[in-house]
Amino acid sequence: MKIGSKAPPRRLFSTLRELAREGPLTLAVRGGSMAPLLADGDRVEVVRALLYWPGDVVAFRAADERLVVHRLLGYRPFRAAGERGRIACVTRGDASFAHDPPVPLARILGRVRGRPELSPPTVRVRSVLAFLGIVARRLAR
């Protein structure tokens, strides 16, 4: 689910990250990849965190520069040249069938908060199981 209607330039993303360090950001979401949890036009509050856990709903800058809100499933090492040794986040929209391309930690804007239904314990367990399913499919290749 993208946030807003236009892709923010990197400079704007850096500014948003700085603002998120100071306090929560309220952003409007667009799209349906997190349905039924988040609908088009919903407002979400995004805050920075020291650590993001599987099951958290996070806002991040995608490779195409859009801001996206998806669920964090887990972490994995980067495999791409020049990125080796760094950690990537594995994310997916709740209404999506495929996970997103790897998201570097530096592209995470923050965690969506303010809604108790965002990360109940069962959602965290399902997120970890979804991540383990991705890992198992990769190992089976």
**Domains in the chain: boundaries:** 2-140
Question: What is the C-alpha separation between 21 and 53, in angstroms, rounded?
Answer: 18
Is the domain 2-140 a CATH 2.10.109.10 member? yes
| Residue 108, beta-bridge partner list | 60
Q: How confident is the model at residue 73 (pLDDT cuts 50, 70, 90)?
A: very high
Q: Quick: pLDDT tens for 87-122.
A: 899 999 999 999 999 999 989 999 998 766 666 678
Q: Quick: pLDDT tens for 52-65.
A: 999 999 999 998 88
